[in-house]
Homo-oligomer: A and B are copies of this chain.
Amino acid sequence: MKIGLLGHGVVGSGVAAIIDANKTWEVEEVSVKKILVKSEAEKNDPRCTTDVNEILDDPDIDIVVECMGGLEPAHTFVKRALANGKYAVTSNKKMLAAYCEDLFEEARKHGVTIHYEAACGGGIPWMASLDRTRRVDDIQSFRGIFNGTTNYILSKMKEEGSDFDVMLKEAQKLGYAERDPSDDIDGYDVRSKVALSVVKAFDDLVDVNAISTYGIRNIKPFDLQYAASIGRTVKLIGMAENFGTSVSAFVIPSFVRDEDLFAAVPLNFNIIESRSETLGAAAFYGQGAGSLPTAHAVVQNVIDIVKNQDPEINEKTSRPVNNALHEGTFYVRTDKTNLFSSVIDHPINEHAFITRRIPLSRLDEIVRRTDDPLLFAAEADA
């Protein structure tokens, strides 16, 4: 089968390199025919073109692999590829989470499929494992450390007792964080991954904007020290649970028990765990980013298409996110503690406290009302 590659950056060039190397008989079944680049200057391969139509309108190309990033024109290009009866593979979590309904519907209409292993957890075979587990079990819930940048910052803050800003700068210097780090540190990157994991785990769509999202932008060494004093480690967790007619889904820094394996996940590594009836808890650990691991996941999806595996073609409906169903106790640090008086269980100091057991939706509501740009919230008993 022939592939048209959209994007020749970190992931795209890895995909071309793996496929060109032809190391296994499965990989030998496919070849990259054309590669879309942005400008003449980027044409470093005879297959490069700056005209996307040369790929989308080429009847010889069966699979379009999108590694461009960004919402547009990635979304439009993938949609046109599907409309032209081409299979799609994407590593672009943000785009796919935002246009999930639109693209899955388009794929179904044209009898093709869209694959997104690399959009979530880099090379970790998370989506494949969900597919496999679901052959026998319903998935009850999943949770994960889905973002390497924030895990790096949190690990180093714990280890060195240093400030958030210092560690963010270090992560940027090491290439773990973008120049505009907001997607990572405000939890939006994890939010996209949770939305896509819901599709795979529960076989239904959710509105990505309905996922409660708390980041680590405002975290201070004090918060980590308090967590440590009660035997906990702070990790940014994405989680969802299946409640039948609705799901809970959220991203929130969480005080994970020190004896939980999640507490030991170092540096920029990821871990994701599913729970299901007969398999129980099963977790997958690895580097959640990087050119070759992510490209590996893309190529695995290409082989899934060749082998006609994972033919996720059934119609998907949207399920509401209802975070009234997720109850917990929460750690909050804010200058406006008075607005939380109805839910405080015990104060830690003037500005920080633990709530009584409340629904997450109740926390969302008070936090919104508080409107404190420096507020930090975490699940206290994760």
Write the chain B residue with the least CB distance to A306.
Answer: B135
Query: Is the pair B278, A293 in contact by a Cβ cutoff of 8 Å?
Result: yes
A203 to chain B, nearest CB (A): 11
Query: Is the pair A280, B292 in contact by a Cβ cutoff of 8 Å?
Result: yes
Query: Is the pair A285, B287 in contact by a Cβ cutoff of 8 Å?
Result: no
Query: Is the pair B293, A280 in contact by a Cβ cutoff of 8 Å?
Result: yes
Inter-chain CA distance A295–B2, complex, in Å, is: 40
A324 to chain B, nearest CB (A): 28
Number of copies: 2
Interface residues of A in 204-232 (CB under 8 A from B): none
Inter-chain CA distance A14–B277, complex, in Å, is: 12
Also in contact, A282 and B137, with CB within 8 A (given A263-B264, A266-B259): no
A355 within 8 A of B: no
A300 within 8 A of B: yes
Inter-chain CA distance A124–B283, complex, in Å, is: 8
Write the chain B residue with the least CB distance to A263.
Answer: B264
Among B129, B132, B136, point to the contact of A27 (Cβ < 8 A): B136
Among B133, B278, B283, point to the contact of A295 (Cβ < 8 A): B278
Also in contact, A24 and B136, with CB within 8 A (given A123-B282, A284-B284, A286-B281): yes
Given contacts A14-B278, A123-B279, A261-B269, 9 further A-B contacts (CB under 8 A): A24-B135, A136-B300, A137-B296, A259-B266, A278-B292, A279-B292, A280-B286, A280-B287, A284-B285
